[in-house]
Amino acid sequence: MTQRNPNLAKLHATYLFAEIARRKQQFLQENPDARLISLGIGDTTSPIPQHIVEGFHHAATCLGDEATYTGYEEAFGRFELRKRIANKLYHSMVEAEEVYISDGSKCDIARLQLLFGTDASVAVQDPSYPAYVGSSVIAGKTGSFNPDTEQYEKIVYMACTKENGFFPDLSTTPRADIIYFCSPNNPTGETPTRQQLEELVAFTKKNRSILIFDTAYSTFIQDSDSVHSIYEIEGAREVAIETSSFSKMIGFTGVRLGWTVVPKELRYDDGTAVADDWKRILSTCFNGASNIAQIGGIAALDPEGIEASRHLINAYMENAKVLREAVELKGYTCYGGVHAPYIWVDLNGKKSWDAFDEFLYDAHIVSTPGAGFGPSGEGFLRLSAFGKKEDIQEAAKRIKTVLQEKVSS
Amino acid sequence: MTQRNPNLAKLHATYLFAEIARRKQQFLQENPDARLISLGIGDTTSPIPQHIVEGFHHAATCLGDEATYTGYEEAFGRFELRKRIANKLYHSMVEAEEVYISDGSKCDIARLQLLFGTDASVAVQDPSYPAYVGSSVIAGKTGSFNPDTEQYEKIVYMACTKENGFFPDLSTTPRADIIYFCSPNNPTGETPTRQQLEELVAFTKKNRSILIFDTAYSTFIQDSDSVHSIYEIEGAREVAIETSSFSKMIGFTGVRLGWTVVPKELRYDDGTAVADDWKRILSTCFNGASNIAQIGGIAALDPEGIEASRHLINAYMENAKVLREAVELKGYTCYGGVHAPYIWVDLNGKKSWDAFDEFLYDAHIVSTPGAGFGPSGEGFLRLSAFGKKEDIQEAAKRIKTVLQEKVSS
């Protein structure tokens, strides 16, 4: 008589990355000798810089020594790490006590759902990183999936298209309690301007909504004018939570380390501090990020670590440039790839799953179809710039030669 | 207009370990020179064995090397680790594919809530580890906290008292959709017999409930007759999920590594496989345990690691014996401490928070008041056997001398 969570039944039958894996498997069965190059899932490929690896070694050695062994970490993360994030990454725009260490942004995105009831309404950029929608569905904040619109009921999809410069038209956007926003954006790779983010904060404030701002790719921003954190925008501390991650910054995808900032000023409608509930949720549902990862994170935020991170990111951004050039040489327009490791290829009207199959079968390249990120992603293909330099160069060659006639039309 | 999750407001104002920390802080302010010994929170104190530390070092080195670097871990955990858990800890009673690696049991307990809707009813042992109740409240599966009964409405509290040998009377226990059960139990330290667990599985089956069986302390069981896993009981694969952890087994409290077993046979009332939903939840709300922790876990499950774990556990169980003897010498009855690192002291009618304060102020020992684990915990004090040998011996001395007159009455 024990029933399934009815919200799980609402989940769209084909989960994006599972469907990609299925098609890839099928291709490999038919073509066992093909040398596939993955420009699909955004997974880091460069080794972690030695300075940070030394941090891991130090942490491991301490754990093996009677005098330096530690058990459970400090609540909400090692204070030295919280302090460095506040000082080095936020230039003291936030306090160390407002930084809560996690095992990664995706996990925090799911936990953040618990701050709000099932009645809360959700807005997402369309296209967007699938975890915002997926965790909202599981948490019971949505209606059913409508196969005609490719949308879940009760979710506000804020279309981000080439026509609006990938920033939603807020003048026609309905109010939602929670607004998920990712900048630089995954999957489009586009970064909103300061003025656009001022509009977003004003919109959130006017609607008395709460903004959940995801900056997992902010260290990829190449100029100092662009906004790295929502707290650079006046008034953001009263309306925004920011979640971010070491994953892409320094190759920690498998190491698992991230954080979420909940400013002291942020309150619910009844005046309760959101941070108090966040602490309660973390205490009940979480037990901290791995101490070894945290000590690595501390090393990543000293001058040597920050310098190493810059090198790592520059190499990925070189990849992005190579891919962009290959795509543009074929006459295609693409977006992103300048302040983010994703290139968003405009397919000139072709369906994104068709283009995915062509890339797979004709160029032996795994990509991600734009439609997987939401209905406004149809007609686009996401190429990830994570990869070894030689693989990216080979991929660029394949894009330039094999796909010439196929994709253009 | 963005509202707080109304379930968060139901949470009892004083969170157990936060209240303990508050009283400890106050004591230290009044007695800045006191040398406190903690027998409170169950936190490991012995260093991690060298063999496992070498696993961490190896993992770190691999992450720093171009040829061996890896990004995201395999979905649901590194297969070698899942295989070792299935073979070494479950003696192939479960398959590797049924083992899902996590960053610890507490985190999985919160995620397991997502398998069931807010309508699902919950039963817990009383007393019990606070995360079962806390995560149920946040997930909206309970009513309000009733200060008179010290219980949340809609939760079935299965009283585990000295009168019933710390095993609930199932003949009078109302049906619930989900039954949380911890064995060896935290906080009582008691382990049910095989026959009792057969009753529990039969009760779960008869009621078509789902049992969530927590074996975080099973490696502390000292005889081979006692049940280490619920899957030793016939029929358990159709009704039970098991969650467990490396935390106490091998000092991984800060390293963060655990697992949950979801057998293929386990189904909801509508016939859907629970494992399918579990995979979906993990894919959407989680991104795997740290790769460094997982490689350490693999080392912990080769013969050398298992042997080291046994040594570690024996040392803690020596501590438990020392504490038990000190308590019993004063004429008190205590439970647990034989197959688990917790001693459950019967306070002869004294209130548990009063005894907590006496231990703190008269013996400079931090303990955990039984009432914090549920209403049936009133009148008991939990002493944790985690600690350095010399601290435990000193604590035993203090218990024997300072508390003689105070606690007995």
Q: What are B224-281's pLDDT values in tens digits? A: 899 999 999 999 999 999 999 999 999 999 999 999 999 999 999 999 999 999 999 9
> With an 8 Å Cβ cutoff, are A72 and B254 in contact?
yes
* Boundary (domain end) residue, out of A303, A328, A357: A303
SS3 A118: coil
CB contact under 8 A, B69 and A59: no
Cβ contact, residue pair B71, A209, below 8 Å:
no
Min CA distance, B19 vs chain A (Å)? 13
Q: Domain for residue A13, yes or no?
A: yes
Cβ of B69 within 8 Å of Cβ of A251? The answer is yes
Number of domains present in the structure of chain A:
2
A364: CATH? 3.90.1150.10
Same domain, B251 and B299: yes
Looking at the fold, whether B186 and B293 belong to one and the same domain comes out as yes
Tell me whether the omega of the peptide bond preceding residue B187 falls within 30 degrees of 0, making it cis. Answer: yes
Q: In what order do the strands lie in the sheet with B380-384?
A: B334-336, B342-346, B380-384, B368-369
Please check the confidence at residue B405 and state whether its pLDDT lies above 60: no
Burial of residue A63 (number of CB atoms within 10 Å: 0-12, 13-18, 19+):
buried
Q: Kindly state whether residue A74 falls inside one of the protein's structural domains.
A: yes
Cβ separation A64–B53 shorter than 8 A? yes
Domain that holds residue A320: 8-47+306-407
Judging contacts by C-beta atoms under 8 Å, the chain B residues touching residue A18 are: 283
* Same domain, yes or no: A315 and A382: yes
Q: Mark whether B362 and B379 lie in a shared domain.
A: yes
pLDDT at A404: 61
Minimum distance, in Å, between the CA of residue B194 and any CA atom of chain A: 25
pLDDT tens column, B86-127: 999 999 999 999 999 999 999 999 999 999 999 999 999 999
Helix, strand, coil share of chain A (percent; to 5): 45, 15, 40
Question: What is chain B's alpha carbon radius of gyration, rounded to the nearest angstrom?
Answer: 21
Give the containing element (helix H, strand E) for A79: helix A79-84
Domain finish residue from B282, B303, B324: B303
> Are A5 and B115 an interchain contact pair (Cβ–Cβ within 8 Å)?
yes
- Give the nearest partner residue to B177 out of A2, A53, A175, using CB atoms: A2
Chain A residue whose CA is closest to B108? A285
* Three-class DSSP category at B10: helix
Q: Are residues B138 and B253 in the same domain?
A: yes
Q: Nearest CA to CA, how far is B69 from chain A (Å)? A: 5
- CB A291 to CB B254 under 8 A? yes
Contacts of B152 in chain A (CB under 8 A): none
Task: Say if A182 falls within a structural domain.
Answer: yes
B177 and A268 in contact by Cβ < 8 A?
no
Q: Are B166 and B190 in contact (CB under 8 A)?
A: yes
Helices A274-285 and B105-112 pack at an angle, to 10 degrees, of 110
CB atoms within 10 A of CB A61: 13
**Min CA distance, B278 vs chain A (Å)?**
10
Statement to judge: residues A356 and A296 lie in one domain: no
Per-residue pLDDT of chain A (409 residues; tens, 9 = 90+): 899 999 999 998 777 888 899 999 999 999 999 999 999 989 999 999 999 999 999 999 999 999 999 999 999 999 999 999 999 999 999 999 999 999 999 999 999 999 999 999 999 999 999 999 999 999 999 999 999 999 999 999 999 999 999 999 999 999 999 999 999 999 999 999 999 999 999 999 999 999 999 999 999 999 989 999 999 999 999 999 999 999 999 999 999 999 999 999 999 999 999 999 999 999 999 999 999 999 999 999 999 999 999 999 999 999 999 999 999 998 999 999 999 999 999 999 999 999 999 999 999 999 999 999 999 999 999 999 999 999 999 999 999 886 665 444 4
CA A135, CA B289: separation in Å to the nearest integer? 19
A1·B207 Cβ contact <8 A:
yes
β-pairing verdict for B342-346 and B145-146: unpaired
Q: How many CB pairs under 8 A join A and B?
A: 280
- Given the structure tokens 């209130």, which residue do they identify? B351
Best of B129, B281, B287 to disrupt the A interface (most A CBs within 10 Å) is: B287
Which residues of chain A make contact with B283, given a CB cutoff of 8 A? 15, 17-18
Complex prediction ipTM: 0.97
Measured distance CA(B243)–CA(A353) in Å, rounded = 39
Averaged over B295-308, what is the pLDDT?
Answer: 98
> B4–A106: do the CB atoms touch at under 8 Å?
no
Q: Select from B277, B303, B329 the last residue of a domain.
A: B303
- Please list every residue in chain A whose beta carbon sits closer than 8 Å to the beta carbon of residue B255: 63, 290-292
